[in-house]
Structure 1
């Protein structure tokens, strides 16, 4: 059954979130100039940049509307403000883009055509290729793998012909670097959850769409090239903090209680050294057990000096103390100064 709306969009809005990333944003905007779709507007939502992003972007692209958020609201709320503005202006659908991507000229039309042809469409995602290795896929949708208690990208490290289909196919979630969402979907499921701030907000959004009876799709013809992790400078301690905390929050919201408990145990276990000496079959003297335990405690304490473990410990602690949103400033400084 096809989508009953079967509309031709009179107004479609592309939203790019920028935070001190003017070079990437300018390259993204340059690629948007070649889009073949006839009816779209562009909003750059700036999250309080201090690198003269607003001035530079406005000078090079005077027709692009810049929504100045004033402060760093994170991915979710930074985009939410732009979505609200676009909806107030009468847009039919929004496309959220990371600023560190470039798009294929057919990118927008592919989303348009897919939405009009699919059954119960929810959130649509692009096929994302590596910017530095443009024929290799980074992600073309994703799914929750309960066997390893983790999210999995579809197509990671593969080529276009190795995707599940050359037509749009169902996924658990669309990867957040490029999302297409119709206004009727937003009306049904709401905006993104600001508690996540960064990471997992698109997974949460897609799960809410599924719970509302909609189907999320990956659209292979909607191609982008992504400078993976450019916003974090790689997998930094700050990235680890958000991934740790938000995985626990996401799993609490969307997994059965038993599976959520298993995610918590796996996350805690990943922070701690192995207690393998407890399962040694050989009989240990009391002294040997004492030294084994003392060595384990030393390893735990040493991990508090490692920024990645510091990030994980705080991510777990803040989940249990319900401290969500942006990473606290004092911790953020500590994590960034040690990376």
Structure 2
């Protein structure tokens, strides 16, 4: 019981002892124009025990100086060059002191109550290793984001499925749900138990790959709709907002990371089936691009297939390490996947990407 005569500092101390420390890692690369909105919102967070760590990926726009001058309580990890999302977040997680680590991009604004529901779920559900927030569009606050939205899954062949993209939020996804992809908050010890992010995934699938490995070692990932984050969404990876697919260089990374993920995480039989189906899908998609004179995207798919063939030995070594940690069979994990949602399905629905 807190004594009514305690000073506010005494109360804050008690609150901090009651609530586990959360390290909030914000990744930044030449995003000075995003930082005020992002950091101001995080500092308003209604949770009594957190630290903020800014990982700067070699920015040249004065981002670090801006934070040093205006946000003295924010810790800064200044990297000499851009090591991309997976590497940058790993750098922040390594120095984090919290029981939990929240990983956020700089182009977000967090609701002041975003953190408490996530921590409460992780405290109540020890079998859950990570939790994801509800991601809404920064500019149209009643619509879901087009990157994370209302939870993310994959199908049996590694295709990404994001629920609720660009839908108006009527509360239709306000139920706590097990999902597959995760990007918001992790148990720090479990995060490192599975090796954290694969830093060779420069763009795309690093979060899905991590979620899969968490399931492999016996944990689950959950979507928590009471936690709300507003995201500016996809602008850096696409030619313009609302473009149907990523820029060619990012498209290539998405396609080749998906193949690596399938090799690393599946049991042998399921891996071979998934690779066969995915290769057929890739070839058909490349043919579509060539026939519609979008040659640059067809070339990226061919590059992805060639990369896997050239680097198969290295990828198989990674697979051996991942499989050595496995405690759960594929048949149990596939319960948390969705039916086919790949390029052929998107093409038939008129949303081919």
Normalising by the residue count of structure 1, what TM-score does the alignment of the two structures yield?
A: 0.77
Deviation at 1:237, TM superposition (A): 1.6
Out of 136, 142, 149, which is 1:129 matched to? Answer: 136
- The 8 Å contact of residues 136 and 229 in structure 2, kept in 1 or not, is answered as yes
Deviation at 1:151, TM superposition (A): 1.5
Out of 228, 233, 238, which is 2:249 matched to? Answer: 238
How many residue pairs get matched? 285
Question: Take 2:26 and 2:310, find their aligned partners in 1: how far apart are those partners?
Answer: 32
Match of 2:243 in 1: none
2:295 counterpart of 1:309:
no
2:270 counterpart of 1:261:
no
- Which protein has the larger Cα radius of gyration, Structure 1 or Structure 2? 1
Match of 2:164 in 1: 155
Question: 1:135 is paired with a residue of what secondary structure?
Answer: coil
Question: 2:227 is paired with a residue of what secondary structure?
Answer: strand
Question: Take 2:170 and 2:78, find their aligned partners in 1: how far apart are those partners?
Answer: 41
Deviations 1:147-183 (A, max 9, x none): x8621112223344444443x2211222x3xx11112
Out of 37, 42, 45, which is 2:47 matched to? Answer: 37
- The 8 Å contact of residues 19 and 72 in structure 1, kept in 2 or not, is answered as yes
Deviation at 1:20, TM superposition (A): 1.1
Cα RMSD for the two superposed structures:
2.5
- The 8 Å contact of residues 158 and 262 in structure 2, kept in 1 or not, is answered as no
Question: Take 2:84 and 2:210, find their aligned partners in 1: how far apart are those partners?
Answer: 15
Match of 1:115 in 2: 122
Deviations 1:199-255 (A, max 9, x none): 111101100100111110011011111111123244222221211111111222234
Deviation at 1:315, TM superposition (A): 2.8
Question: Take 1:221 and 1:152, find their aligned partners in 2: how far apart are those partners?
Answer: 21
- The 8 Å contact of residues 122 and 130 in structure 2, kept in 1 or not, is answered as no
- The 8 Å contact of residues 248 and 264 in structure 1, kept in 2 or not, is answered as no
Match of 2:177 in 1: 169
- The 8 Å contact of residues 251 and 263 in structure 1, kept in 2 or not, is answered as no
Question: 1:199 is paired with a residue of what secondary structure?
Answer: coil
Match of 2:258 in 1: 247
Out of 99, 102, 108, which is 2:109 matched to? Answer: 102
Question: Take 2:257 and 2:119, find their aligned partners in 1: how far apart are those partners?
Answer: 31
- Alpha carbons of 1:188 and 1:157: their partners in 2 closer, same or farther (altered >3 Å)? same
- The 8 Å contact of residues 268 and 316 in structure 1, kept in 2 or not, is answered as no
Match of 1:322 in 2: 311
2:84 counterpart of 1:74:
yes
- Alpha carbons of 1:224 and 1:301: their partners in 2 closer, same or farther (altered >3 Å)? closer
Match of 1:214 in 2: 219
- Alpha carbons of 1:125 and 1:8: their partners in 2 closer, same or farther (altered >3 Å)? farther
- The 8 Å contact of residues 174 and 226 in structure 2, kept in 1 or not, is answered as no
- The 8 Å contact of residues 150 and 173 in structure 2, kept in 1 or not, is answered as no
Question: 2:52 is paired with a residue of what secondary structure?
Answer: strand
Deviations 1:49-80 (A, max 9, x none): 12221112222212211101111111111110
Question: Take 1:273 and 1:232, find their aligned partners in 2: how far apart are those partners?
Answer: 22
- The 8 Å contact of residues 171 and 216 in structure 1, kept in 2 or not, is answered as yes
Question: Take 1:114 and 1:60, find their aligned partners in 2: how far apart are those partners?
Answer: 33
Match of 1:198 in 2: 203
Of residues 315-324 and 54-63 in structure 1, the stretch that sits farther from structure 2 once superposed is 315-324
Question: 1:134 is paired with a residue of what secondary structure?
Answer: coil
- Alpha carbons of 1:309 and 1:59: their partners in 2 closer, same or farther (altered >3 Å)? farther
Match of 1:145 in 2: 155
Question: 1:122 is paired with a residue of what secondary structure?
Answer: strand
Deviation at 1:8, TM superposition (A): 4.3
